[in-house]
Amino acid sequence: MKTTAAALFICFLATSAVANVGYSSAQHPLYGKWAWTYAKNNCSEVYDYRPDNTSVVTSGEEIGESRFTISDKPDLNGFYRMTDVVTKSNGRTGCDGKPGGTPVGNTVTIFIFFHPTMSEMVMCQEPSFYACMGPLRRLTQ
C-alpha cells in the first residue's frame, strides 16, 4: 500500500507543471509546520521551519533544533536545495530508532519538492525521486 501510494504521488508530482517561481524570504513555501509518520513503526515527526531559517523538529522522543539555508527558487526540475545543521538536541531516541539523538553539528543537504498546491512535499537525498521520504503534509496553524 505504501509503495503504491508513493508511486502515485511521485507520478502526480512528475506530471505536474513546475513553475520556476522565486519567493521572498518571508514567504518561502517551506516556512510553517509539516508532519509525517513512519509507516514501519507508526512514529510521527513534526518539522517547524521558521522565517529566520531556524527549525524545531520533534521525532519520537527527540526534539532538535537546527539552522538551514534553502534556495529561493527551485532548479529546472522543481527541487529546492536545502542545507541543514543541527544546533541542539535533547539526545533522546527519534523515529529512526537510533539512541542518543542526532549529533549537534550534523550537516545534511537535501532536495525538497513541493506538490503544486504547496500542501505536501517530499525530501530527497538527490534532486530526483529515487530516494525520498514523505509526503510531509502542511499543518494548519
CB 101 within 8 A of CB 89: yes
Q: Of residues 23 and 92, which shows the higher confidence score?
A: 92
For the entire predicted model, the pTM comes to 0.81
Which residue type sits at 81?
Answer: R
**pLDDT average, residue stretch 112-121:** 97
Yes or no: say if 84 and 47 are a contact pair by the CB < 8 Å rule: no
The predicted model gives 71-93 an average pLDDT of 97
State how far the Cα of 35 lies from the Cα of 19, in Å rounded to an integer: 24
Let me know if 6 is exposed, middle or buried by CB neighbors in 10 A (0-12, 13-18, 19+): middle
What domains, with CATH codes, occur in the chain? 2-15+27-139 (2.40.128)
Give the whole-angstrom CA distance, residue 134 versus residue 112.
10
pLDDT in tens, 19-60: 344 444 568 999 999 999 998 999 999 999 999 999 999 999
